[in-house]
Amino acid sequence: MIRTGWKRFASTALCLGIALACLIILFPRDKKQMPVRPIGVNPDYAFPTKETPPDSEVDSAALVDNANAWNGRTITFTGEAIGEQMIRGDMAWIHINDDAYAKRNIEEGATFAGYNSGHAIWLPAELARQIRFFGDYRHAGDIVTVIGVFHAADPEHGGDMDIHATSLTIVRPGHPVIHVIDTRRALLAAGLLALASVLYGARRTAARRRI
């Protein structure tokens, strides 16, 4: 009984010691040993200086790579409205893409040039309702320009990156998109389907003969 009690005591003491060591490592008493270094800027993308005027035009790449530098500044952002408007009482969410396909989609002759990029916009619902076309498979969205305050980590919306816009201007209306069928690809697909069907039928016939 004495040995069992001693083993339990030793095991408990060991666990407490490990837990204490973890706390010391995670929460050091001397905070001076952990200096807070400011986030620098990426010189490959636009960043504000003392001479940068308010309402400056900024793209999504600069806002992402130099988010800390642009945080809290009033900016101008232009791109294609995509998806749909999400009304939240007197306010609304919209999403604006400013990537290589914003002003000209693949069907209109644009070449493949990377991925989609853009920003979430929080604005009055009456402004969001001005948008007629939102970009999707069947439509090219309105090209719009918004002016508002950029937030690198918006505390009002769970730390998300967004722009609180106070104005919206339709630069170019959107329109329906006509998808042209590629005849050569369609014929190739039909031929491959026919070939696959023939091969499948031959395999079934051969299997039956073996039985």
Instruction: Look at the alpha carbons of 92, 93, 98, 102 in this order and tell me if their dihedral is positive or negative.
Output: negative
Claim to verify: residue 169 and residue 86 sit in the same structural domain: yes
Q: State CA 46 to chain mean position distance.
A: 19
Claim to verify: residue 88 and residue 8 sit in the same structural domain: no
pTM exceeds 0.75: no
Give the pLDDT confidence of 72-82 residue by residue, as tens digits.
Answer: 999 999 999 99
Claim to verify: residue 21 and residue 101 sit in the same structural domain: no
In a domain, 23, yes or no: yes
Claim to verify: residue 9 and residue 98 sit in the same structural domain: no
In a domain, 194, yes or no: no
Give the pLDDT confidence of 134-174 residue by residue, as tens digits.
Answer: 998 889 999 999 999 999 999 999 999 999 999 999 999 99
In a domain, 210, yes or no: no
Claim to verify: residue 122 and residue 66 sit in the same structural domain: yes
In a domain, 195, yes or no: no
| Band of pLDDT at residue 37, cut at 50, 70 and 90 | very low
Contact in structure between 168 and 146 (CB atoms under 8 Å) = yes
Structural domain span for residue 23:
2-33
Q: Which pLDDT score is estimated for 6?
A: 57
In a domain, 134, yes or no: yes
Claim to verify: residue 152 and residue 74 sit in the same structural domain: yes
